[in-house]
Amino acid sequence: MLRELHSRRAVLMRIIFSWALVACLLVRVVAQVPKPDSRPSFEVASVKPHSASEQALRSLNVGPDSLSAANISAFSLITRAYGVTARQVAGLPPWARTELFDIRAKAQRTTSRVEMFEMLRSLLEDRFKLRAHLESRVVDVYVLRIDRAKYPGSGLHPIVIDCATKTLDPSSGPGLFPSRPRMPCEGVLSGRDKETTKKGIARRDAYLGVTLSKFADMLEGQLNRHVRDQTGVEDVFDIELNYPDTLMTTPAPPGIALFTPNEAMIRDVVRAQLGLTLSAGHAPVEFVIVDSIQRPTPD
């Protein structure tokens, strides 16, 4: 009887030792699993309401280790942070579209533009208490493609540019503004002057330092539907679109406000002058749905 008791106790001790060994190994494995990296964020950031007395242009500039924005809404910040267009944001309160802010933010180190916009998303979550989710919806779109018979058109001016400094590379083509200070990349100019009027041009639009993907985004406001870039071209361009007087029923005299081209005009000019086509279709588009957002506390 005593021998049997000792035998059972030995078995029990071996079981306890085995489980203790397994537990120790599990602790070591858990200890060796690296903690997930925290989301990228700016080292320091300042967010202030924009003063109406300051006549600053609306801008958002990204440098190698900093981001600055002037006279800009939370709505515009969200479109840049998530890489979507104005039509892809829903659920915002009115103030987020109308109230304007100035932002100065600096990263701990030199980083990429992609990571810089991830940091901007973190800033929106921290300072504006933004909570949002992504949702895919099938909507009407235009698809931007290359017309092999016409590409590249005369309105495409390829450039090589450092967008942070607005400086053309020595290997670059001259673009639209070779001899005077350039506007920031992704800027847009619209107008008509004596020179264009003499040539029978009723409206001239210039898109500065843009990829064709960004150009597609910029067309959405005029076409009233999403534009998907399927050109496969990653080069940067200055893009020029000239709308002739012949497209208008009654040409506007010099000094009169610009006419607004309709969808058919835009599609015709884009094909004739850029060698690109805009085809109607349907496609899933990802939307940013804002669940909540708050005004930031100024600092």
63-117 pLDDT, tens digit per residue, is: 889 999 999 999 999 999 998 888 899 999 999 999 999 999 999 999 888 899 9
Q: Is 227 exposed, middle or buried (0-12, 13-18, 19+ CB in 10 A)?
A: buried
- In this prediction, residue 259 carries a pLDDT of 75
The amino acid that residue 16 corresponds to is I
Query: H or E stretch including 109?
Result: none
- Answer whether residue 145 is part of any domain: yes
Count: domains in the chain? 2
Note whether residue 19 is domain-resident.
Answer: no
CA gap 299, 280 in Å, rounded: 47
Domain that holds residue 280: 140-284
- For residue range 237-275, what is the model confidence (pLDDT) as tens digits? 999 999 987 776 655 555 555 678 889 999 999 999 999
Within a domain: 295:
no
pLDDT tens digits for 124-150? Answer: 999 999 999 999 999 999 999 999 999
pTM exceeds cut of 0.75: no
What span, in angstroms and rounded, lies between the C-alpha atoms of 239 and 252?
24
Q: Are residues 149 and 262 in the same domain?
A: yes
Residues 107, 203, single domain; the answer is no
Tell me how far apart the alpha carbons of residues 156 and 154 are, in angstroms, rounded to a whole number.
6
Between 234 and 37, the more confident residue is: 234
pLDDT in the model for residue 35: 38
Residue 40, amino acid? P
Distances (CA, A) of 32 to 24, 29, 39: 12, 5, 21
| One-letter amino acid for residue 112 of the chain | S
**Residue 221 located in a structural domain:** yes
